[in-house]
Chains A and B, each alone.
Chain A
Amino acid sequence: MIETFAALSDPTRLRIVSLLREGPQAVGAIAERLSLNQPQASKHLIVLKKAHLVDVEARAQQRLYRLDPAGLMAVHEWLEPYRRLWDARFIQMDEVIAQIMRDETQDRKD
């Protein structure tokens, strides 16, 4: 679990995960898209694989990296309570805003 979050605390690895949302990619393509050299990209992919954030699949002569739902689900579960906390605040803020707007409409009528 801790490994998952540590893996994502690196901005480059976060970009790799983000890129793989488009679909599976070979290490060369990942390196090119993110302006990394291939050994750098491979090093990051190894960390991400250990953290269950990416997985490898063999397709024809290529090894393609794709997102691994296991690690991503853990990240989602980690972030979700804090997102819900802000969501709860904003829903209350919606009510405050609606009242300000009602009051202003009323003032214009008076």
Chain B
Amino acid sequence: MLNPTTLELVGDREIVIHRRFAAPARIVFEAYTRADLVARWWAPNVLGVEIVSTEADVRKGGRYRYVIRPLGGDPIGFNGEYREVTPHSRIVYSQVYEPMADLGEVVITVTLTEANGQTDVRFSELCPSVHVRDGIIASGMESGMRNTFDQLEELVITLAAT
């Protein structure tokens, strides 16, 4: 059974996401931060996005860069700096969306709380403006639409072949 992912808006610049994982915080923290593991989950494959590369120097002042490629699109990079790394409980880092770096950085705070062998993760994205927040939310719509278009294309190809 899958744990639900919930999303809420707080004020006009923050997106907060909650998710529970069936593992101790130590393991969730490792999966969330270690570059070789991030490579296996950060690109939502079901939406047609794939990972190109992940690099991360997970310590205060260290930097990271993740590159993804939407289906049929050019690679898109995200990078930033770790502001706080408290093993197994809290990570604060900045994130710049490279194609629109001039929009400023989003500050992401991830809080892990373990209870009874499970871990609740609170993921907050604090945006520089309401416009950036709305742009981030719209990015979900774009990848979702791309997926729909892909399915449509597959369907058309299937129909054409019969």
Task: List chain A positions with a Cβ less than 8 A from chain B.
Answer: 5, 8-11, 14, 78-98, 100-101, 104
- Say whether B139 contacts A97, CB under 8 Å: no
- Chain B residue numbers with a CB within 8 Å of A97 are 21-23, 27-28, 31
B contact residues, total (Cβ < 8 Å): 41
Among B12, B134, B138, B144, contact of A84 (Cβ-Cβ < 8 Å): B144
- Say whether B136 contacts A90, CB under 8 Å: no
- Say whether A89 contacts B42, CB under 8 Å: yes
- Say whether B137 contacts A101, CB under 8 Å: no
Looking at the complex, which of B3-11, B82-90, B149-157 is the stretch in contact with chain A? B3-11
Q: Is the interface of A mostly helix, strand, loop or mixed?
A: helix
- Chain A residue numbers with a CB within 8 Å of B15 are 82
Which residues, 62 to 115 on B, are CB-close (under 8 Å) to A? none
- Say whether B44 contacts A92, CB under 8 Å: yes
Interface check B130, CB cutoff 8 A? yes
